[in-house]
Structure 1
Amino acid sequence: MGKETKTNAMRILDRMKIPYTLNQYNCEEFIDGVHIADMLGQSYEESFKTIVTVGKSQGYYVFALPIDKEIDLKKAARVVGEKNLELLPVKDINKVTGYIRGGCTPIGMKKAYPTVIHESAETLPQMIVSGGRLGEQIVLKPDDLLRAVNGRYADIISER
């Protein structure tokens, strides 16, 4: 694979010497992570989506959680020390992260935002996150993702 086809996320993992596998698939239209996991026969537990939020302080925060779960904004705000959080509007994703909806990964955003990975990842042998572009996924060990984003694990999902 030539350099020109690598995303910022892949270049960062390569630079940090973090092993990963690249999954590529045909993506005509991004619906959601559950649809992609079903299409590829992947487990929901290992497949993580990236959620970007903005706090009362106007700071941005990144959360990675299983694709079939919903973020609990109150829990997530407590974890990052904010009074409250709101989801970043889809129209602002590219401006803030450098990625597009469906291709947003916690690795290699425009700036290094505080990042939290749902604690369920800690026990997994591997996890799947977006590769930084539609139709690409990165498969890696959860602790390697944690190191790549200088993040932490926490309970951030809704119990509903």
Structure 2
Amino acid sequence: MSSIEADELLRRYASGERNFSGLEIDGSDELARANLSDIDLSNSVLAEMCLDNINLSRANLQNAHFGLSSFHSATLQDADLSGASLGHADFVDADLTNARLVGAYIVSASFVSSNLTGVDFTGATIGESGIYMKGSILSNTTMPDGEVRSDSVQQQ
């Protein structure tokens, strides 16, 4: 797997490139607050990164590895995270409206006070503790077992 520094990715993205599939991205917090809408990071590794306030709307994040990454106040509207590895990832106040997490690995991931409207978690691996989503908004949200929920999660 090829590696790229986060600042190089930002430079190339700014010049119009969108395909960064299959890369290992180095840099702990350089992508925080970046607008990377419509980017293709499928099959890439962005583990243990601070991605707070990032905009990944409509991003292709299929089969990407984000273990132990932070997504505080991130925007992932219409993003495709199908098959992504999100173990211990932290989504706080994130907007995942209409995101696809079909078959994603979300064991010990946290979705606190996040907008999960229209999110599809079908077949996601959640582990024994379930999905931690205290204070999150669920509207037409498909849970891993296929149940569709529309409510606010007050505690968990």
Instruction: Tell me if TM exceeds 0.5.
Output: no
Higher RCO by CA contacts (8 Å cutoff, separation 6 or greater): 1
Calculate the TM-score normalised by the size of structure 1: 0.24
